[in-house]
Chain A
Amino acid sequence: MTPELPVLILIGQPNCGKSTLFNSVAGLKAETSNFPGTTVKHTHSLVTVGDRLLNLIDLPGTYSLNPSDPAEKTALTHLFGEKPDVIINVIDASLLGRSLELTLELLELGEPMVVALNMMDLAEKKGTVIDAAALERTLGVPVVPVVARRGQGVKTLIERALELMAEPRPAPVQAYSGDVEAALGEMESLLPPGFPLTGNGRFTSIKLVESSGLYFEKALAEADPDLKHDLDRIRSELEARRGKPAYEIIAAERHHLSQKLFEDCCRLKPGDRQSPSGKADAVLMHPFYGYLILLAILVGFFFLIFKVGSPLENLLLAPLQSLRQALTVRLGSGSLVFHLVDGLLQGIGGGLAIVLPYFIPLLFLMALLEDVGYLARAGFLLDTFMHRIGLHGKSVTPFILGFGCNVPAIVATRILESRRDRIVTALLIPFIPCSARTTIILALVAFYLGPWWALGFYAVNILLVAVLGRVISMFMKGPSPGLILEIPSLKMPSLKSLVQKTYLQLSFFLKFAWPLLVLGSLVLSLLQFFGADGLINAALSPLVVHGLGLPPELGVTLVFGFLRKELSLLMMLQALGVGTSSLLTVITREQLVVFAVFVSLFIPCLSTFGILWKELGRKVAFLSAALSVGTAVVLSLIVRAIL
């Protein structure tokens, strides 16, 4: 057993800059974003501060400790599971009044805690001057002003946390109104010793009183029916006195307490307290210009990625091509050595010359959209359209993330409250062209047929998502809870954070996906050498040749597309035995489109299939696969018939 490391846990409301703070302490480890719920998994990091090794944990953002979506449940589970030595409560200082409500809830735990007042610069812009020292005195826990984006105050924050760890002081109690305190006190006195489910007696009592029908109460009813009886009595007495449900009484208590703290510790500069994004938002979410901007962003990104990627692709392919020719002459095209070397070259070179030129700009632009805070705005604009396909604006974030990679997009469906919405969204995500498919579309369709073809391809793809959404919703009815979505203030993205994020995603590709590409190319080379590819091609020829009208050699490439979508593209050139410059001499433009359509849609890739299984179960994963194969066949046949 290794000695237990001190555990510091970061917890805060969505979008409070928790992950930025985490990054600034931990270096290039976690992902940050300006959208509620993008960190849906918790992230661990071992960091050295001074001469101490610490275990730093970043939890998904949570608005309160009464979770309402799966991402918030994750936060709560880990808060109790990890047994933190110190809790670092990260607060968006520009939303101090609201953020303190979670702080009060956390204080109820009675654990050692430090408050990180993040985004002090934004708060000042909004005209709020916060007296951190006064807040510290009132709360009774250390309060440290921080600007995580620029690394200001981070060192002090960690130092104060370490001081607290050396001399643990439990957080003091913040008292509610007399009648509520009386009810809580009575409840606490009835709890048998050692009963607390979590935290301490007071925390347990508060949760029992406020969360009727939830997990806490069910656990209690099973453990001690008499106590449950007392709880019901205490709660109904309180409710009768106040004429409101208990959860509302406690929520209002916290609200008033935090407003009071806010008023006591803040000075508002005179003038209009308009949100700093107000003017920009009037345009960004305008009923006409808003959509124009949304469209311009999507089309602009597309052309930008193409304009950056395609010259790079050309530039990088040329030396690769000549290297391959030299090898053919040197090794002879029939030898095993040539096949091995060629397989390696295709895999490594293909990844470098065909995938990366498009992949890197796409990652960077996605990171930009997230960091600025545009995703929530897109959710607002697209809410109406999402209702048409049986969802609402909150599903827009997972969808847009899907353009980067379907895997985190499916994980991000955890921000949706209803399971039905999660399933419908997750079934549609595999139809969103991810970066791998964007590569296929750009490197194949745009490269050979021109960017407008590729743009048309995208348009059809998005239309397909809409149609499928409509169809799936017909089968999966269910009340979708209405939209409640926070619109965070717009933030100036920092280049450092964008680069970090791009790098993180890229390193994931280099570590996991690229080796797969190389391995796939190598296997295909060997299959070709031993003539085994013919068998697979023959088996698939009814579909490939008769159905889709493609050359039989492409059969084997489809099989590998299940591993990584780009693999089909690289292997296509390899299987047809041509270089990129002469592709159109062996297949027609129509065949190229049909191939691109089929490969894009025919099955979620292995990782996507895996994450669907993990997040939503086997049934959903197989349903998704069946849906993809069916759609791909039908759509390819239609495309073939039209062209």
Chain B
Amino acid sequence: MPTPKSLAEIKSNAAVRVVSIEGGRGVRQRLFALGFHIGDRVVLQGHGPFRGPLLVNNLTTGTCLAVGRGIAQRIQVEAEDDA
């Protein structure tokens, strides 16, 4: 079984699955509303320099989000099983 990592720790351009989203209700609800859910397949597209935000492409819903590092650290993902 792959061990979950935070979104802030993974490599770019490899599809992963969202396992859990921690954090306050405001942040979680916002992520849900913007099309970012537990179980979605996402790809880290890149990040801003100097510990800048992460650019995350959601393959399930087709949205692209910029997410601050603090929030990304609380999003756990795991590599795809079949990968």
Residue of chain A at shortest CB distance from B24: A481
B68 touches A97 (CB 8 A): no
Minimum Cβ distance to chain B for residue A236 (Å): 16
Q: Is the CB of B46 within 8 A of A95?
A: no
Q: Does A152 contact B (CB under 8 A)?
A: no
Which of B's residues lie within 8 Å of A, judged by CB?
25-35, 37-38, 45-53, 55, 57, 59-71
In residues 353-370 of chain A, which contact B (Cβ within 8 Å)?
none
Residues from chain B with Cβ under 8 Å of A278 in the complex: 45, 57
Residues of A within 8 A of B57 (CB): 275, 278
Q: 7 new A-B pairs (CB below 8 Å) besides A288-B49, A384-B50, A417-B30?
A: A285-B48, A287-B48, A380-B48, A384-B49, A384-B52, A483-B53, A486-B34
Q: Decide if A484 touches B71 in the complex (CB within 8 Å).
A: yes
Residue of B with least CB distance to A213: B25
Q: Does A389 contact B (CB under 8 A)?
A: no
In the complex, identify which listed stretch (A61-69, A222-230, A558-566, A626-634) lies at the interface while the others stay far away: A61-69
Q: Which residues of A contact B65 (CB under 8 A)?
A: 484-487
CB < 8 Å: which of A95, A247, A281, A381 contacts B45? A281
Q: Beyond A95-B35, A101-B35, A483-B53, is A383–B48 a contact (Cβ under 8 Å)?
A: yes
Count A-B pairs with CB separation below 8 Å: 131
Does any Cβ of B come within 8 Å of A186's Cβ? no
Contact yes or no, A68 B50, CB < 8 A: no
Shortest C-beta distance, A277 to chain B (Å), equals 8
**Chain B interface helix/strand/loop/mixed:** mixed
Instruction: Please give the distance in Å from A595's CB to the nearest CB on chain B.
Output: 38
Interface contact A381-B48, CB-CB below 8 Å: yes
- Residues on the B chain within 8 Å of A63, using CB: 30, 33-34
Residues B61 and A97 in contact, CB atoms below 8 Å apart: yes
Contact count band on A: 35 or more
Write the chain A residue with the least CB distance to B23: A482
How many angstroms between the C-alpha atoms of A525 and B82 in the bound complex? 81
Bound-state Cα–Cα, A417 to B46, Å: 25
**B46 lies within 8 A of A282 (CB):** yes
Of all chain A residues, the one with the shortest Cβ separation from B40 is A255
Does the CB pair B66–A259 fall under 8 Å?
no
- 8 Å CB contact of A68 from B29, B48, B52: B29
| Bound CA span A506–B60, Å | 42
Listed by A's residue number, 6 A-B pairs whose Cβ atoms lie within 8 Å are: A98-B61, A98-B63, A259-B60, A483-B66, A483-B71, A487-B64
B34 surroundings in chain A (CB, below 8 A): 63, 98, 484, 486
Minimal Cβ-Cβ distance residue in A for B69: A482
With CB as the reference atom, state the residue of chain A lying closest to B37.
Answer: A255
Q: In the complex, what residues of B have CB within 8 A of residue A485's CB? A: 53, 65-66
Tell me, yes or no, whether A499 is within 8 Å of chain B by CB. no
State whether the Cβ of A425 lies closer than 8 Å to any Cβ in chain B: no
Interface 0/1 of A465-497, CB less than 8 Å to B: 000000000000000011111111100000000
* A482 B70 Cβ-Cβ under 8 A: yes
B49 CB to nearest A CB, Å? 4
